[in-house]
Amino acid sequence: MFEKILIANRGEIALRIHRACKEMGIATVAVHSTADEEAMHVRLADESVCIGPPPAKESYLNIPAILAACEITGADAVHPGYGFLSENAHFAEILGHHGIRFIGPSPEHIRLMGDKIAAKQIARKLNLPLVPGSEGAVKDVAEALDFAKRVNYPVLVKAAAGGGGRGMKVVRRAPEMAGAMSAAAAEAKAAFGDGTLYLEKYLNKPRHIEVQLLGDPQGRAIHLGERDCSLQRRHQKILEEAPSPALNEKDRERIGRLAARAATKLGYIGAGTMEFLYTEEGFFFIEMNTRLQVEHPVTEMITGVNMVREQIMIAAGASSGIKQRDIRQRGHAVECRINAENARTFLPSPGEVRAFHPPGGFGVRVDSSVYEGYRIPAFYDSMIGKLIIHGQNRTECLMRLRWALKEFVIEGVDTTIPLFQELLEEADIINGNYDIHWLESWIAKRQDNPQNGDAA
């Protein structure tokens, strides 16, 4: 096992990693920018090294500085957390050259999955379902109708050279095809000088469902169930839950097994997540993240598996020992990302936290690096903590979330706590009836109708 792990991250995830290390008897090194001198994990770590000025590219993304910090502290492994260098194959490689273990998958797997086109090709080989698309350009309407018939309507006509929605048309029935294609071709020609079109199945109201995977050092992967992360704003997840309210046991089992089998075929080692879009017509692979996810705690809450511990075990070459049959889900979990942002305008709100009182009690977990008197720096992302609630079932979970949000006191900065309180009043949220577009359209409606939200 490792003697000393350097935590190449900041904020709540740095603290999360520190705690996991302490449980395993491993010493920790916090590296930090000058803006994070007062950060909680810096204070708690066994050692800390300032690696640069506030801008991330000069500190948290500064590979030479992090390597030098490994050298002067003698760390034998680096946990990259999420974001920053966590999916940087080059970093993983360099660490390897210096004899330092990167706690994550192999550089090859990182690189492969980092290239979105290569990842889809691999996914196809691994029999993962992809959003059906025409093989290259479609010549004419007949071919397009043929494709649409095969994959079922609606389909999306897209400009091969396209982008930004131009040259893109949704076709819901066969009679619309010819018109849509000529319109799209004309638009594409005008915009990009190229009228070539291709077709893709159009997913109407997809949900974002992701499967948590763990590949052991022998390359046998298991899955830890799915998370539903459909509530997003500008592609940022806001609230995640597990299990997904949209899946039945059969679908859950199926996608889990499919993903785990694919990861095993891939020889994937470490923690990873396969992301899918899900509609009534099934699952469609989007991409694979080769790192710990922000939302890993919801999986921890229902499976009881300590994800960070598993990552460390696997990186050390030790078999985690968990078999697929050991994974049993208990209850329901929801995570709310607490951002230092205005809950209505989403404007960031850095500054001093003047009061901090997290909720406690049964089924309540707070992962946060904030404390009273802490100054939230303006240099990094606005997430300052996560409120994770576990309950015997989804209803208990949401009821508990309600009082926990009410008891959560953060003063001095704006937070997204009121946003979640508002969301919990929405029937669609209570019923689990939402897709990846739901939150943005709800926000748009709320902004049109400002007095609605004032009660929250």
Partner 1 sequence: MTDKDKKKAKKERAPRAAAAAPAAIARSAEGYKNLVRDLAELLDETGLSEIEIEHQGLRARVSRAVSIAAVERKGVASASQTPAAAATSSAADQEIGDAVTAPMVGTVYLSPEPGAKPFVEAGMRVKKGQTLLIIEAMKTMNHIPAPREGVVEKILVSDGAPVEFGEPLLALS
Q: Annotated active-site positions, please?
A: 291
448: exposed, middle or buried (Cβ count in 10 Å: 0-12, 13-18, 19+): exposed
- The CB-of-298 to its own copies minimum distance in angstroms stands at 11
Which residues ranging from 122 to 141 are in contact with partner 1 (CB under 8 A)? none
Which residues ranging from 416 to 445 are in contact with partner 1 (CB under 8 A)? none
Q: Is 207 left (phi over 0), alpha (psi -120 to 50) or beta?
A: beta
Residue count of the chain, please give it.
456
Q: Is 234 left (phi over 0), alpha (psi -120 to 50) or beta?
A: left
Binding partner at 402 among partner 1, its own copies, none, C-beta below 5 to 8 Å by kind: its own copies
- The helix or strand, by DSSP H or E, that contains position 355, with its residue range, turns out to be strand 355-357
The binding track of 313-342 with respect to partner 1, each residue x by CB under 8 A or -, is ------------------------------
- Cis peptide upstream of residue 243 (ω within 30 degrees of 0): yes
CA dihedral sign of residues 75, 77, 78, 79? negative
Binding partner at 46 among partner 1, its own copies, none, C-beta below 5 to 8 Å by kind: partner 1
Question: Is residue 203 classed as helix, strand or coil in its secondary structure?
Answer: coil
Which residues ranging from 348 to 377 are in contact with its own copies (CB under 8 A)? 355-358, 360-368, 371-372
| Gyration radius of the chain over CA positions | 23
Select from 56, 69, 180, 387 the one that contacts partner 1 (CB under 8 A): 69
Q: How many residues bind its own copies (CB under 8 A)?
A: 40
* Nearest C-alpha neighbor of 191 from the set 159, 215, 216, 223: 159
Binding partner at 284 among partner 1, its own copies, none, C-beta below 5 to 8 Å by kind: none
What number of other Cβ atoms are within 10 A of residue 305's Cβ?
19
Binding partner at 381 among partner 1, its own copies, none, C-beta below 5 to 8 Å by kind: none
Binding partner at 365 among its own copies, partner 1, none, C-beta below 5 to 8 Å by kind: its own copies
Q: How many residues bind partner 1 (CB under 8 A)?
A: 39
Q: Strand 197-201 relative to strand 207-215: parallel, antiparallel, unpaired? A: unpaired
The residues of the shown chain that bind partner 1, judged by CB under 8 A, are: 34, 37-38, 40, 42-53, 59, 64-65, 67-69, 71-73, 98, 354-355, 357, 371-374, 406-407, 409-412
The residues of the shown chain that bind its own copies, judged by CB under 8 A, are: 15-16, 19, 22-25, 44, 297, 300, 304-306, 309, 330-331, 355-358, 360-368, 371-372, 391-392, 396, 399-400, 402-403, 406-407
